[in-house]
């Protein structure tokens, strides 16, 4: 599931600094019931806890006078360029380096960034951006309308293979440019160095975020550009240069990513000169306790919270996030095209038990593809998929899958054996899912690989089920747009004309109240003909060293929006 703004993908039970948690192993100590809906653990409150012993910071941390270190849970893939990276870890690496024209605040509202303001015409089809006069790239060159036009142009290039769907912006002349029928994009008008007007031929609620995304320097990234060939950019993937608060310094695979403050940043250089992502893998808690890092995210559960509380210098934040954990279903497989089979997979998995066991109650079963913090949340009247193995068995019977001699269902000589991909060998979902699915006649076959290899397998269609989480969700369309039939080939093969119609209606109106009605209908269709298995909405658990001030967190940005204000306590 790849989404707008950052196009991030992160694995279930492992999230990232700017998005959620660092993916520490969850402790499984709850009741492990095999049937029936397990009892829900009492809901966990959002709260901030001050350090019990703020003066107990380890000496090695106190000696870092000009450096802020945060964990990154998994080694990035190495493509540090917005619109071109494939994983959320690369997105995290890129985020401090690149700014967009617009930003998102803690309420999920659009706010100015490189653009000091913008206007949208009454018909919702023309956008005019006014770039800040003091906006500069880290090399000191000004951010101009030419850079914005260049960025939008390469996203229309026929050789572009990234995850940004620029067609959603509906820029007039975009398709002609992509097909080589025009040398420029007709709808892009450069008024002057700081002003650019973009005309579209239809309304799309997310056009602003797409048009206002990260800006690339034409002088830097445009060297060597020839229409129809973007391969030259690969040489710059690990030499990123943007207009964000930090400049890229060095990437040491499997160890760390280093940055230095951008003295040319439009909003003033960050207060801390050096920023480092330390790649933690499974060592986040140890690094935090030892003072090797100043900020770390963890799988939200009671055990990890208690361990963090025992670290006297830890300021702790627990809050409800917007990411959604889910299992992708490969709808390209013939046996997955039957909605009854996909419904059975949903009914047959005890999702509440996963929350109680893996997250010890620090989450909530997801019934619709949007988190409760969103204005669009409404699950009233939506099929809930409460754990019901009897219902799952009935659906599989109706779909023609009959129980064989060994208890595994069969149809047309094929056994119902499903390959489940995970990036964690200790994925706490697996023992629950194996037992649940065995009960209804399905043999679950887990396969493990590092996250980048997992993504490659999914892209090639070499899976039945794969465990993921969305990035932070800015808009309800972010989650569902991938399941439009036009995206079937590049996503998981799902096609549903009824859902297509509702997705388009949600995209093509700017009236939020009307959108609420549309998405409520959409969520009912999504559940009746599910493209995926929704798992849960999770709490976010982070620890911040008491030697650090200014870290602010919210469901839409993590700590990204406060990065320039982070400082070392005096």
Secondary structure tally for the chain: helices H, strands E: 16, 23
Domains within the chain, CATH numbers bracketed: 47-81+87-95+240-319+542-568 (3.40.190.10), 102-236 (3.90.76.10)
Least confident stretch, 75-84, 90-99, 110-119, 555-564: 555-564
- Kind and range of the H or E run holding 151: helix 145-155
Pick the closest to residue 423 from 448, 460, 446, 458 (CA basis). Answer: 448
What proportion of the chain, given as a percentage, has pLDDT over 90? Answer: 75
Tell me what pLDDT residue 20 has: 33
Residue 14 confidence (pLDDT): 28
pLDDT at 40 over 50: no
pLDDT at 203 over 80: yes
Which pLDDT score, from 0 to 100, does residue 185 have? Answer: 98
Asked if residue 10 has pLDDT above 70, the reply is no
Look at residue 45 in the predicted model and tell me its pLDDT.
81
User: For residue range 164-184, what is the model confidence (pLDDT) as tens digits?
Assistant: 889 989 999 999 999 999 999
Give the rounded percent of residues in the chain with a pLDDT score beyond 70: 92
| pLDDT for position 27 | 30
Confidence of residue 32 (pLDDT cuts 50, 70, 90): very low
- At 295-333, the pLDDT tens digits run 999 988 889 999 999 999 999 999 888 889 999 999 999
User: Across residues 12-19, what is the average pLDDT?
Assistant: 31
* CA pair distance 424, 421, nearest whole angstrom: 9
**Residue 431 CB neighbour total at 10 angstroms:** 15
pLDDT tens, residue by residue, 218-229: 999 999 899 999
**pLDDT bucket at 43, cuts 50 / 70 / 90:** low
Of the candidate ranges 38-42, 438-442, 486-490, 544-548, the one whose mean pLDDT is the lowest: 38-42
Highest mean pLDDT among 71-85, 480-494, 516-530: 516-530
Contact 9, 86 (CB under 8 A): yes
Question: Does the pLDDT at position 341 exceed 70?
Answer: yes
By the 10 Å C-beta count (0-12 exposed, 13-18 middle, 19+ buried), 192 is classed as exposed
Determine how many CB atoms are found less than 10 A away from the CB of residue 228: 10
Q: Is the pLDDT of residue 539 over 80?
A: yes
- Among the ranges given (45-59, 406-420, 505-519, 551-565), the one the predictor scored with the smallest mean pLDDT: 551-565
pTM: 0.80
Distance CA 115, CA 266 (A): 11
- Contact call for residues 97 and 248 (beta carbons, < 8 A): yes
pLDDT of residue 41: 38
Average pLDDT over residues 246-252: 98
pLDDT of residue 38: 36
Q: What is d(CA 435, CA 36) in angstroms, rounded to the nearest whole number? A: 12
Q: What is the mean pLDDT of residues 253-266?
A: 97
Q: Can you tell me the distance from the alpha carbon of 154 to that of 249, in angstroms, rounded to the nearest whole number?
A: 26
For residues 70 and 278, what is the distance between their CA atoms, to the nearest angstrom?
6
Check whether 13 has a pLDDT greater than 90.
no
The predicted-structure confidence for 395-438, as pLDDT tens digits, reads as follows: 999 999 999 989 999 999 999 999 999 988 778 999 999 999 99
Query: Who has greater pLDDT, 165 or 240?
Result: 240
Evaluate whether 528 touches 522 at the Cβ level (below 8 Å): no
Rounded-to-integer distance, Cα 374 and Cα 496, Å: 25
Kindly indicate the confidence band of residue 365, based on its pLDDT and cuts at 50, 70 and 90.
very high
């Amino acid at each position: 599931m790849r989404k707008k703004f950052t196009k991030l993908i992160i694995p279930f039970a492992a999230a990232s600094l700017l998005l959620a948690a660092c993916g520490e192993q969850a402790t499984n100590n709850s009741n492990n019931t095999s049937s029936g809906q397990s009892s829900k653990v009492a809901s966990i409150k959002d709260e901030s806890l001050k350090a019990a012993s703020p003066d107990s910071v380890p000496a090695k941390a106190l000696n870092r006078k000009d450096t802020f270190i945060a964990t990154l849970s998994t080694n990035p893939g190495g493509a540090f360029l917005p619109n071109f990276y494939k994983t959320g870890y690369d997105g995290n690496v890129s985020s401090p380096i690149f700014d967009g024209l617009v930003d998102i605040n803690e309420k999920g509202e659009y706010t100015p960034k490189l653009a000091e303001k913008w206007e949208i015409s009454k018909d919702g089809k023309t956008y005019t951006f006014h770039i800040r006069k003091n906006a500069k790239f880290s090399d000191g060159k000004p951010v101009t309308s030419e850079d914005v036009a260049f960025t939008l142009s390469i996203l229309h290039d026929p050789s572009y293979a990234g995850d940004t769907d620029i067609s959603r912006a509906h820029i007039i002349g975009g398709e002609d440019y992509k097909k080589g029928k025009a040398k420029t994009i007709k709808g892009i008008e450069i008024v002057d160095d700081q002003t650019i007007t973009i005309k579209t031929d239809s309304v799309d609620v997310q056009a602003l975020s797409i048009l206002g995304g990260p800006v690339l320097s034409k002088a830097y990234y445009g060297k060597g550009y020839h229409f129809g060939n973007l391969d030259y950019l690969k040489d710059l993937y690990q030499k990123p240069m943007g207009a964000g608060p930090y400049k890229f310094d060095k990437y040491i695979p499997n160890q760390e990513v280093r940055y230095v403050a951008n003295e040319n940043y439009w909003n003033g250089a960050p207060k801390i000169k050096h920023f480092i992502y330390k790649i933690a893998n499974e060592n986040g808690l140890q690094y935090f306790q030892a003072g090797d890092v100043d900020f770390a995210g963890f799988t939200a559960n009671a055990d990890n919270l208690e361990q963090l509380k025992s670290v006297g210098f830890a300021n702790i934040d627990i809050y409800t996030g917007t990411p959604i954990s889910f299992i992708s279903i490969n709808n390209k497989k013939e046996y997955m095209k039957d909605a009854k089979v996909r419904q059975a997979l949903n009914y047959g998995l005890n999702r509440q038990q996963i929350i109680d066991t893996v997250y010890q109650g620090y989450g909530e079963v997801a019934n619709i593809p949007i988190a409760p913090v969103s204005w669009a949340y409404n699950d009233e009247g939506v099929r809930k998929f409460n754990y019901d193995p009897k219902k799952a068995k009935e659906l599989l019977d109706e779909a023609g899958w009959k129980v064989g001699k060994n208890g595994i269902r069969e149809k047309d000589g094929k056994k119902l054996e499903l390959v489940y991909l995970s990036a964690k060998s200790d994925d706490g979902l697996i023992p629950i899912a194996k037992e649940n699915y065995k009960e209804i006649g399905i043999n679950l076959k887990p396969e493990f690989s590092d996250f980048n290899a997992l993504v490659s397998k999914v892209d090639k269609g070499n899976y039945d089920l794969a465990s993921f989480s969305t990035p932070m969700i800015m808009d309800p369309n972010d989650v569902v747009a991938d399941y439009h039939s036009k995206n079937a080939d590049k996503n998981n093969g799902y096609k549903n004309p009824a859902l297509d119609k509702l997705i388009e209606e949600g995209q093509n109106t700017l009236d939020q109240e009307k959108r609420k009605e549309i998405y409520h209908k959409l969520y009912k269709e999504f559940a009746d003909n599910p493209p995926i298995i929704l798992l849960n909405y999770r709490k976010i658990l982070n620890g911040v060293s008491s030697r650090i001030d200014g870290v602010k967190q919210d469901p839409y940005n993590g700590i990204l929006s406060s990065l320039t204000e982070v400082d070392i306590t005096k």
